């Protein structure tokens, strides 16, 4: 069945370090992937997405890497800041004509000053 | 502000009560969703509406009843809930572009406590 899993429940980094959050997915038919950030008391906020015809996409301070061979997704955050502290979710979606996002359990990123 | 507004933000209800959650999106999207987020669990998709038509019911108990009167509004009617239904209920919307999926925008959620 469909499943998305995260390797680490909590990641602690120092301010200024680069952070890498990993995600494994199991549905080889998924063709669209999204990373969301969720701060306490808020809904998930879109960070970056990538389609299956790409293996890398960069945004502002963030990079998403997709390895379809091993069904692995990662989010890299450069120069991590305290404001980056949140729970990060990866989500996968099959192209069914409507959104059916399957989410992982999330990784909590803790950034120390 | 994501353009998706949920009310109320917090709700406490007894197991015999009937209440409704409301979601409104100001983004002109055609697809709307209800998700449930429990502690230490992935977000669970509950319902999907496309152009006001329900296209997904992810084996949700009948004590949860969705309603989508138009593409901008989505309700979740609650009755005879159980304490294990306590969770954060999130509404989202998206605008698939010619069959290509795009990101979903989430509201702030309704924190529901069933007592």
* Contact state of B109 with A101 under an 8 Å Cβ cutoff: no
pLDDT of residue A99: 67
Q: In the prediction, which pLDDT does A49 show?
A: 95
Q: What pLDDT score was predicted for residue A98?
A: 65
User: Per-residue pLDDT tens for A44-89?
Assistant: 999 999 999 999 999 999 999 999 999 999 999 999 999 999 999 9
DSSP code per residue over B41-60: S--EEEEEEETTEEEEE-S-
The predicted structure's pLDDT at residue A71? 93
User: From the CB of residue B33, how many other CB atoms can be counted at a distance below 10 Å?
Assistant: 26
Across all residues in chain A, what is the average pLDDT?
Answer: 88
Which of residues A8 and A85 earns the better pLDDT score? A85
List A residues 22-61 in contact with B (Cβ-Cβ < 8 A).
32, 34, 36, 41-46, 49
Q: From A4, A21, A1, select the one nearest A101 (Cα to Cα).
A: A4
Q: What per-residue confidence (pLDDT) applies to A40? A: 87
Residues 6+ apart with CB under 8 A from B59: none
pLDDT of residue A3: 45
pLDDT for the residue A79: 97
pLDDT tens digits, one per residue of B57-77: 888 999 999 999 998 999 999
Does the pLDDT of residue A6 top 50, yes or no? Answer: no
Contact list in A for residue B40 (CB cut-off 8 A) is 105
pLDDT at A2: 39
User: What distance in Å separates the CA atoms of residue A65 and residue B22, rounded to the nearest whole number?
Assistant: 36
Please write the tens of the pLDDT for every residue from A16-54: 999 999 999 878 888 899 999 999 888 999 999 999 999
Chain B residues interacting with chain A (CB cutoff of 8 angstroms): 2, 4, 6, 31, 33, 40-43, 45, 48, 50, 55-56, 90, 92, 94, 96, 99-109
Instruction: Mark the ranges of chain B whose per-residue pLDDT is less than 50.
Output: none
* pLDDT exceeds cutoff 70 at A4: no
Of B56, B90, B99, which is closest to A43 when you measure between CB atoms?
B90
């Amino acid at each position: 069945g469909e499943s998305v899993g995260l390797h680490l429940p909590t990641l602690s980094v120092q301010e200024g370090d680069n952070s890498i959050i990993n995600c494994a997915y199991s549905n080889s038919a998924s063709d669209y992937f999204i990373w969301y950030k969720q701060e306490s008391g808020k809904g998930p906020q879109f960070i970056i997405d990538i389609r299956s015809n790409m293996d890398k996409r960069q945004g502002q301070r963030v990079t998403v890497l997709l390895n379809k061979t091993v069904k692995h997704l990662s989010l890299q955050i450069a120069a991590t800041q305290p404001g980056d502290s949140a729970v990060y979710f990866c989500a996968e979606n099959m192209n069914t004509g409507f959104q059916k996002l399957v989410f992982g359990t999330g990784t909590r990123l803790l950034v120390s000053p | 502000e994501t353009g998706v507004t949920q009310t109320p933000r917090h709700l406490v209800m007894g197991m015999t009560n009937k209440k409704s959650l409301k979601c409104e999106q100001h983004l002109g999207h055609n697809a709307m969703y209800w998700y449930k987020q429990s502690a230490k669990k992935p977000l669970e998709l509950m319902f999907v509406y496309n152009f006001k038509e329900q296209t997904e019911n992810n084996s949700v108990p009948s004590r949860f009843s969705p309603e989508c009167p138009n593409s901008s509004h989505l309700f979740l009617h609650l009755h005879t809930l159980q304490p294990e239904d306590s969770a954060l209920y999130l509404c989202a919307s998206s605008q698939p572009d010619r069959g290509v999926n795009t990101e979903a925008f989430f509201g702030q959620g309704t924190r529901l406590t069933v007592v």
